[in-house]
Structure 1
Amino acid sequence: MQEDPIQFFDNYLFTPTAWEKAGPVWPIRLGRNIAKPNYHVGPRFTPYYSLHFVLEGEGSFLQNGSTYALSAGDIFCLFPRLTQEYYTSGHSPLKLAWVAFDGRMGLELCERIGVYPNYPYRSGACDPSVAAILDDFFDAVRDGERAQAADLGKLAHFYRLFDCLARTAPRPRSDDGAAHWLQRGKEYMEVHYAEGITIEEVSGYIGVDRTHFSKRFRQAYGISPIQYLQKLKMDAARLLLKETDSKLLEIAQSVGYPDVFSFSKTFKKFFGLSPSQYRYRK
């Protein structure tokens, strides 16, 4: 480990490849330290996200006007352009690890693991499984993954880490969190509308009661989830009728209907024309 006036530390800096930067997020720094009794960082802000893991010791973390007491097993996140400060206690020095990352989906990734700009802390999230993945990440970087696919190796360790944290993440704490699971439900329908999904399956996927999901969805989007699901199917069917010569049964099954009858009945109710009538007047 290297040494400076406040800590012993390892710090690995990454330059993201074009492949990494084409994705939603990428790691840019991996580090760990053993704090000296005078360890104190900030006040300052960072231009990227930095997730910290408390491996041992005690301390304090301040961000966005709130203070969080740190102890072994906790995690906390430094969010871009917010002022942060963190320091060790005198009697039980901190031992930390961290991974910094950037990318257009950085905020969404943080939300997946249960940390938010207004609540950037989780108690006990760094369990033995997370610590083991961190050790693997450090081993791989220290050994110098110089192969052509080294960027894939970094991403694999990075996503393993966040996957493990996401599995134990609490449900969103606020209306911002509600907006997040509403968006997840909406996107789930947009991807899987043709696969015969039900609203029960959508609400189960996001972990919210169906009645509550339907009420909040209508408030947010002005349409019920079942109406939105039907609209997705009908818009796709209309496009297939306009741009292909596919048979009606093929189109019906392509948008999640088992037969022409149920498809045609819904289509006519939605557009005022049968599928055949719509096709002939396109």
Structure 2
Amino acid sequence: MTALEFFTEHIATFKSIFAQHLNVEPQNVQLLSVQETPRERIPRAATIPSSATTDLDILFTVSRGGGRGMLKPDHVYTRLKHDFQNIADRSGKMKYQLTTEMCTPGVCQRGECRERVYLDDQQQTVISIGGIAFVAPHHNRIAECICPEGYGGQRCELEINACARSPCQAWEMCVPSHEGRHDCICPPGTTGDRCSQPSCENEGRCLEEAELSLVDGRVIYRWDAGSGEGSVATDASIADAQWHRISLSRRGRRTRLVLDGADTKEGWSPPGTLALLDSFF
């Protein structure tokens, strides 16, 4: 079965069956990516064998409807797995196989494993037939290890700074500094003995400034958490009409900016009031 055959003959049945088992309307089952793949590849999502050599990988999402957001992937997977035999019995010539979980025990030595889905705009599926138009990039799923402070490597197997040895008290945060040193600081919003007091007096709110900008093609991040401005910038220009991935994280005085998963730059703010900004992409 090709992608064209799926959209011509089977898309309505696919949406109807899955919607019924997820207790939503068929239009709430939204296809994000459909791609033909060799049979020997590991399935990426609900997979429909098409011939002796080809599978069809389908990446989809499900909305609750009525503006109530999306169903969580774990919920969708659990429901479909529980009803899988019934789904298979009703699907006729379509034979499904659910994706296997990427984050299995042992993938990461330390830290947290998170499954990521990346869209490849260099490869696309384009369908136009019978009033149906579908254009979407191909997709790829991988497992990423989110390492605890002090560790790095693909599986968080490497000690990369002094914080790996847990040198701080239980109520403190360890923040690596220059030349292999480290600082033990209170978590954001706290100060004083054993970090037991709020850092903003009179029940006030602690505010900070942050700015992510593009200057002459370079990505620049500036921030001020109360002790003075810090900044970090990429060397490479991204003004090339291509998609780029920027990962930005800040912990204490240190900020790390990663471009396309490879070009890593770090910057530091002046000593003083410290704050924590969660990673975002």
Range into which the TM-score falls when normalised by the shorter chain: under 0.3
Task: Identify which of structures 1 and 2 has the higher relative contact order when contacts are C-alpha pairs closer than 8 Å and 6+ apart.
Answer: 1
* Larger strand proportion of the pair: 2
TM-score by length of 2: 0.25
Q: Which has the higher helix share?
A: 1
